[in-house]
Amino acid sequence: MWDLSGLEFDSAPELMTFFHWTCLTDLPNYKHPNHARLFPDKDALSALYAEPSLEFAPGLLEALQSDTPPPLSWFENLPSSCPKNKWGWYVVPMRKDGCEPRAYWGSGTKTDGGVGNRMKVYAEEKGLLPQRVRESLDEGYEITHIGLLGTVDIPGPALAPALEVFCLGVEAVFTWLFWGLWSKTTGYGAGTGACLWPVDTLEYGGLCTHSAFIEPGCKRHDLTAEELEAAAQVIKGRKLVAAAARGRRYRKRKADVDPEFYANRWTASVKKHAGEYRCETCNITFCSKEAMTKHLASDSAAELHAAAGVEFASEAERTALKATMKRSYDKRKEEDRYRCDPCDHTFANKLRFDEHNANPAFAAIHLAAENGEPPKQSAYRCRACNRGFSTKYSHRNHMDNPRFKPIHDKFNAAETASTLPSAQ
C-alpha cells in the first residue's frame, strides 16, 4: 500500500500528512463520512498538521522511515509526562513472562483534562479501559509504560469538531502503520499491507479492535462556529453554577461535623488567599506566619532554597522549630484521641481523622490491620525524598515535579560520586 520510493520528508507532520491523506483517498468506504466532509482536500488536512502547537514524539520520523519495525522497547522509551490542556495520541505496551508482548494505540480528546486524564486511566488500571486491555490485565499482563506519540493544544469550541475528527484519523493512521490491531490476518478495511512492515516481523500483538476511522467524533458538526461558541459559554455557565452548588453542600456537610474547626479553617483559607504570607522561592502561600515559618524550617524547603541561593532560616532555627513541632505531636499522640494505629499517624481533630478513615487510598492498610497482616510497603519509592507511592502514576508525577528537582539532582549527584573510583 505504501510506496515511499523517491519521496523525501523533512518532518514528522509532513510524513504523517502523506500517510493520513493516502488513507482518506485510498480507503473511501472504511471511514465515517465526517472525515471526508471535514477534509475534502489535502489543504484542509495540511492546515491542521501545520498547527503550531502540534508536536510529535522525538524519533518518530526515523521510526516510520526505518526498514525494520521498532521493537516494543522503543515505545517504552517514549515520553510519558503530558503537559496540561493537551489532546494527543499514546501507546500502552504490555508484557507477561513467557508470552508475546502486546500494545494498544489510542487518543485522548476530552475537553476537560485532555489526553492526560485518559493516560491516568491506564496508570491506575481502573475506569473505562479498552476491552482487550482489560482482558490482558485479567490474564496477568502488566502495563510497562504509557508513551506519548504526539500532542496538540485543546482547541476552542469552534475548532473542536474538526480537530477531534483529525485526532481520530491520526490515531487510525498510527494503528495501521504500527499494526496495533488484534488480528494479524483480518484487514479491517485496509488489509495488512497498511502496516509499514510485514506483520509477522512485529515482536508484539495489537490490542485495538477496530480502526478509529469508523468513529464519527462526539462534538457537534451541524452548528456554525458562532453557534458552537455560544453553546460552549452556556455549558460553561451551567458548570460554574453546579460547581458552586456542590461547594456549598460540601462546606455544609463539613461544618455539621465540627462547626468550630471548620469556622477556623475557613478563616485560615481567607487569609491564605490574601497572599500575606508567601514563599516566593517555592511559589506557596500560607494562612499564617506560623505555617510559613514551619515551611521555611523544613528540610525539603531548605534544599529548594539552597538550590536557589536563598537562606530564610538558619540550621539552629530549623532545629529549634522541629523540636517544638515534635513536642506538639507527642502531646497529641499521648492524648490518643484521633489516632490511626495501622498508619501510625495522629490527627489534630475529628474531621481530619474521619477524612483519613474514609479515604480509599488507606483502605488496604486498614483492612490488612484488621486481618492481622503486616503492613505492605509502598510499591514505588523515591529514594531521594524517602517517600512511598501506591501507584506508578503518582510516583512518576512526583519525579517530574520541578519543586523536588533540586533534591533529586543532589541525591543523584551524590550517588554518582560514590560509585566513581577515588583519585589516587
Mean pLDDT of 353-365: 79
The residue that leads in pLDDT, 259 or 158, is 158
CA distances, 321 to each of 4, 294, 296, 313, 327 (Å): 69, 7, 10, 10, 10
Q: Which helix (H) or strand (E) holds 8?
A: none
Mean pLDDT of 72-85: 91
Per-residue DSSP letters for 198-252?
-GGG-SSEE-B-S-GGG---SS--SS-HHHHHHHHHHHHHHHHHHHHHHHHHHHH
The CA-to-CA distance between both ends of the chain, in Å, stands at 63
Query: What is the per-residue pLDDT across 149-171, written as a single tens digit (0 to 9) for each?
Result: 999 999 988 888 889 999 999 99
Residue 20 has pLDDT above 90, yes or no: yes
Q: Which residues does 268 contact at the CB level (< 8 Å), separation at least 6?
A: 287, 288
The residue that leads in pLDDT, 372 or 207, is 207
- Measured CA to CA, the distance from residue 291 to residue 321 in angstroms comes to 11
SS3 165: helix
What pLDDT is recorded for position 417? 74
Residue the block writes with cell 496477568: 140
Q: Are 389 and 381 in contact (CB under 8 A)?
A: yes
Q: Are 353 and 340 in contact (CB under 8 A)?
A: yes
SS3 280: coil
Mean pLDDT of 176-190: 86
Q: Among residues of the chain, what percentage have pLDDT more than 90? A: 34
Q: Are 338 and 353 in contact (CB under 8 A)?
A: yes
Mean pLDDT of 225-236: 70
Task: Give the mean pLDDT of the chain.
Answer: 82
Task: Identify the weakest region by mean pLDDT among 19-23, 101-105, 378-382.
Answer: 378-382
Query: What is the per-residue pLDDT across 310-343, written as a single tens digit (0 to 9) for each?
Result: 666 667 777 777 777 777 666 665 666 677 877 7
Q: Where are the domains of the chain?
A: 12-214, 225-335, 339-404
What pLDDT is recorded for position 265? 67
What pLDDT is recorded for position 424? 47
- Residue 107: phi and psi, rounded to 5, are -140, 160
Residue 31 has pLDDT above 90, yes or no: no
| Residue from 288, 321, 315 nearest 302 by CA | 315
* Buried/exposed code over 100-113 (b: 16+ C-beta within 10 A; e: otherwise): ebbbbbbbbbebee
Q: Are 287 and 268 in contact (CB under 8 A)?
A: yes
Q: Are 334 and 340 in contact (CB under 8 A)?
A: no
Burial of 296 (0-12, 13-18, 19+ CB in 10 A): buried
The residue that leads in pLDDT, 98 or 357, is 98
Helical residues (DSSP H) of 105-214, grouped into ranges = 114-124, 131-138, 160-177
